[in-house]
Amino acid sequence: MQLRYTFRIEPGPGQRMALGRAFGCARVVYNDALRARETARRHGLPFPKTGDLSKLLITDAKHKPERAWLSEVSAVVLQQSLRDLDTAYKNFFDSLKGKRPRVGAPRFKSRRDSRQAVRFTANARWSLTPGGKLRLPKIGDVKVKWSRTLPSTPSTVTVVKDAAGRYFASFVVETDGSEVLPGTTGEVGIDLGLTHFAVLSDGRKIASPKFFRRAEKKLRKAQQDLSRKAKGSSNRKKAVVKVARAHAKVADARRDFHHKLSTTVVRENQAVHVEDLAVKGLARTSLAKSVHDAGWSTFVTMLEYKATRHGRTFTRVDRFFPSSQLCSACGFKDGPKPLAVREWTCTGCSTIHDRDVNAARNIRTEGSKVAAGRAETQNACGG
C-alpha cells in the first residue's frame, strides 16, 4: 500500500524564491504542452506524445532566449509536469467512457491559482539530511517540522504552497502491511448525520463539531474586509491571504477531527460498516452548507484506507437500503418516516427505537451480510 505523509516546511527567503521559480517553470511547461495538444486537436493532427513534447518544450526550449530560464530548475520537475498533464487527460477520457466520475478537460494553470506544487522523484536525487532537513536540487536544505517518523524510505516528495502561503512537503511511502492491529471482536455500524456527526450501533452519539458554522462570523468579517480593498493594491493581497488562512484553519480543524475519530473507530472494531451516502445529491439541496461542513466523504475515505491498512473489514452498505424503516429487533419494515420523527415504536414488536441508533444497528447487520457474501465469493473463486 502506498501512503502519503505531509509535513509543514519552513523555507528561507532565498529558498522561497527558488521554489517560486520551480512553480513558475513547471506551470509554463504544463501550459505549453496543453496548448500544443489543443492546437493539434483543432487542426486534426495526431495527438503529440509526451516524449516529443519533452524534447520540444524542455530540452530544445532551454536553448532559446525566451525559455532559457527553464534551466534554472531541476529537469525532473518539468518532466513531472508533463506527466501531470498525461494524468489529467487520462482522467478526462476515462470519465467520458464511464470508468470514473465525470471530470472536466485539462485547463491552463495560472500563477494566481490557490495551490502551487512541484514533484521530485528519485531521479532528482533529493534526500533527507542527517539533521532532518529536506535537500532539494537547486533549492537547498529546507527545514521540516517533523510530527512523526516515516515508516520507510519515501519514493517521491511533492512540495506544495497553499492559498494561505504555507509550504508543505508530501512524501509517498510504501508499506508492507506490517501495521496490522491485534484482532478484536468489535463490530460497528455507523449512521452519519447533521444533528450528530455519527451515531454508532452501540448507542454512542458523536456530536457534530460544525467547524464552518462556528467560524462563519469571523470568515464573513474577513471576506467583507477583502471586498473593501482596491483591486491590485498591496492591502488587497494581504486581505486575500487573511481570508485563505481563516479557511485553512477551519479545514485543518475538520481534518484533525476526522483523523482522530476514524482512528478510534478502526482501533476499537474488527469490522466497520457505513452507509454509502449520495453526498453530491445532498449538496444540491438547502442543506448544502451543512453537508459540506460535515465532510462525510473525507471521513468515510479515511475509515476505508485505515481499515485496509490495519487488517480490518470495511463495508459500504447500499444507499437504497432502508436503514431507517426496518426494526433492528424483529426486522419488520415499518415504512418511511419524515426527518422530524426522531423516535418511533415498531408496530410489529412494540420496541421503542431511537431513529439514528436503530439505523446504525441495521447498517451493522446489513454490512455483516455483505462482508460474509464477499468472503464466500472470494473463497469460491480461490481468492
CA dist., res. 158 & res. 179, Å (int): 25
Check whether 212 has a pLDDT greater than 90: yes
For the question of residue 191 being annotated catalytic, the response is yes
CA dist., res. 209 & res. 214, Å (int): 8
The reported pLDDT for the residue numbered 13 is 96
The reported pLDDT for the residue numbered 2 is 85
Check whether 223 has a pLDDT greater than 70: yes
Distances from the Cα of 35 to the Cαs of 29, 58, 92, 106, in angstroms? Answer: 10, 14, 16, 10
Check whether 383 has a pLDDT greater than 70: no
Which pLDDT band, with edges at 50, 70 and 90, does 378 fall under? low
The DSSP code for 305 is H
The reported pLDDT for the residue numbered 178 is 61
The reported pLDDT for the residue numbered 382 is 60
- Residue type (1 letter), 340: A
Q: Name the helix (H) or strand (E) containing 2.
A: strand 2-10
pTM of this prediction?
0.87
Share of the chain above pLDDT 70, in %: 97
For the question of residue 356 being annotated catalytic, the response is yes
Q: Which residue among the candidates 32, 191, 304, 334 is catalytic per the annotation?
A: 191
Over the stretch 120-156, which tens digit does the pLDDT of each residue have? 999 999 999 999 999 999 999 999 999 999 988 898 9
Q: Which residue among the candidates 32, 84, 187, 275 is catalytic per the annotation?
A: 275
The reported pLDDT for the residue numbered 70 is 96
**Of 218, 234, 200, 149, residue with least CA distance to 303:** 200
Over the stretch 278-329, which tens digit does the pLDDT of each residue have? 888 888 888 899 999 999 999 999 999 999 988 899 999 998 999 999 999 9
Quote the mean pLDDT of the chain: 92
Q: Phi/psi zone of residue 120: left (φ > 0), alpha (ψ -120 to 50 degrees), beta?
A: beta
For the question of residue 32 being annotated catalytic, the response is no
